[in-house]
Every structure is written in structure tokens, then in C-alpha cells.
Amino acid sequence: MLTILAPAAASCQLLMGLLIWRRTQLPGRGELALSLLSGAAYFLHAAFPEALRFLLPVVLAAPLACNRAIRAGFEAPRRHPWMEIALLVLLLASGLAVRAGSPAWTGAVSNLLSLGLFLELPIIVWRGLPDDLVVARRNVRFWALGFSALTGAAVALASTLGGAIWAVPAAAALTCLLIFAAVAFGGDLTVTTLARQSPLDNREQQVLRRLRQVIGEVYTDPALTLSSLARRLDVPEHRLRRVIHLGEGQRNFSTWLNGYRIDAFKARIDEDDTILALALAVGYNSLSAFNRAFKAVEGVTPSAFRAARKANTKAMRVPTPETPSAT
């Protein structure tokens, strides 16, 4: 059965990867296509381990590829490149070592890392749900959560009833069903461009004008959320998501809110207050949270940004020596 289901699942994944790669406006399309490619390698290697031994490094790296794809597709925070390199080295080294005759604990390292990377996926999807302003992508999140739960339950049940030998065929069958469903019914779920969205109506334009007034009064509240802002404006939460997404051109509530707060910080950066005091004043409840948000936008820490600004200001104030005039 595995020799039939595994190639079928691999073919579906390769086809889906090609379809995703052709969607040039899809966030994280490269990571998603790479993840599907590594998934196809996993199923093919599981069915024909001896003939396709050269695919083993790709199979060992598949959990990391899948994790990166979910982060990219849902625009979740990325890991530092050095951390991803370290994870990749550990996955490859431990996985290859146990197959070369090393102690069994090396294989346990690879298995635990893979398990951790996969278990993190539903957490990433769930944590980003409240701030996601793109309706189609929110639907994809529910699909992803549902499929994760279904796959995990099915694989666990198959392993319990029939042993581990049934786990891979069960995962292959579910993968095929998911991809068939996505192609047949899920085309609209991947469309997140503004061009396919209807414009704001008159009522939503009024909400947008009120929003721009109110946000200047409440952005300093550390507890501000999309739900609390919707209650303050007396509009349904789904309507406010649409207004911010289309009216402000934003895809994530926290990113949009951080923009206001960081602009406010930069407007006050020349004051004598410490960075912590300014961060608290513009709505952050800790310096670490502010540092992460600021660096994600500006590419440097607030301290480095302030130091560079002071250096530039000082350089501009230094008088240029006058060149003596020839007489």
C-alpha cells in the first residue's frame, strides 16, 4: 500500500508546489514550495528507502522547511538565520549519524527536534489569528489547524492500532485528500491581494475616518487589541478588520499599531527621557517587546538609532572652516 500511496502523495505535493510557485503575489511562496518539495521527498524515501538514499538529507531537513513555510506563509516572526543554520546542522548531523552506526541517542536528538518543529506549527497559526486582518488568510488558518488536528489524530490512531508501519500510509492518504480539497474548493483561500477585494462602502469610509481620529488617542494603551478597538468604535470586529486591511493597506493589526507607536517614539527621540521611559509612554509594557518591534521595522535597536541620530545632528552643527580668500 505504501508503494502506491507514497508516490501519489509526492505527486500531489509536487503539483501543489508548482501551483504555489506560480502565484507570484503569494507571501512566502518560495518557502511553501520548498516545504512541499521536501514533503514529496519524505514520502518517496519512505516508500523506496534503498533506491532513494540520496534523498535522506532532504528528508531530515523537512521539519525545518515546513516550519519556515508556515512562518513565511502567515507572515509570523522569523528566527535569526544563525538559529536556523544551527537547527539544520543538528537535524542533519544527528539523523545521518544514527544511520552511520552512532549510538541511538543521536537519532533521538533528530526525532525530538523534528517533533518540536512540528508541534510549534499549530501554535504559530493560532497565535497569529487575532491580529490577522486578511479574511482569506484567516480561513486558511482554520484549514491548517483542522488539518493538523486531523492528521495528528489519524497518524496516532494508525500507529496505535496497526503499528508505525501504518502511520506513513495514513499521512500520505490525508495529504492527497487535503491537496485535492485545496485545488477543488480552496482557490479563493490563497487570494490575499487587494485587487480581488471590493472597495470600502460609505459606512466603512466613515469608520475609517473615525478610526484615524481615535487611534491617535488610544495607541498608548498597552492593552489595546483589535477587539477592544472595535468595541470603542462600536463596530463589528470583522468590519474593523476589513477597514484596516483595505483602508490602511495593512495585513496585521500588531504591525499597524506598532507603526503608530514607533513613529511616536521617533518624534520624541530627542527628549532627555530614557528609551525605557519613551517606550512605556508610547504603549509598550516592556523594553524587550519594544526592542523587538523597533528592530523589525528599522533594522537596528532603538539605542543604535538614537546614537546615529545624535551623531548626525552633531555633525550637522559642526561649523565648516572658511577657506581663506586669495588677495
pLDDT tens digits, 183-197: 554 554 444 443 455
For the segment 87-111, the average pLDDT, to the nearest whole number, is 84
pLDDT at 235: 93
Quick one: CATH architecture of 202-317? Orthogonal Bundle (1.10)
Angle between helices 135-162 and 167-185 (to 10 degrees): 160
Taking residues 69-84, report their average pLDDT: 87
Of residues 5 and 37, more confidence is placed in: 37
Domain ranges in the chain are: 2-194, 202-317
User: What's residue 254's pLDDT?
Assistant: 92
How far is Cα 46 from Cα 7, in angstroms, rounded to an integer?
10
Burial of 4 per CB tally in 10 Å (0-12, 13-18, 19+): exposed
**pLDDT tens, position by position, 145-179:** 666 656 655 555 554 555 556 667 767 776 776 66
SS3 252: strand
pTM as predicted: 0.74
Summarised one tens digit per residue, pLDDT across range 265-318 is 999 998 889 999 999 999 999 999 999 999 988 989 999 999 888 888 777 765
Q: Measuring CA to CA, which residue among 180, 192, 240 is closest to residue 215?
A: 240
What is the tens place of the pLDDT at every residue in 240-249?
Answer: 999 999 999 8
Distance CA 321, CA 5 (A): 79
Q: What is the pLDDT of residue 231?
A: 94
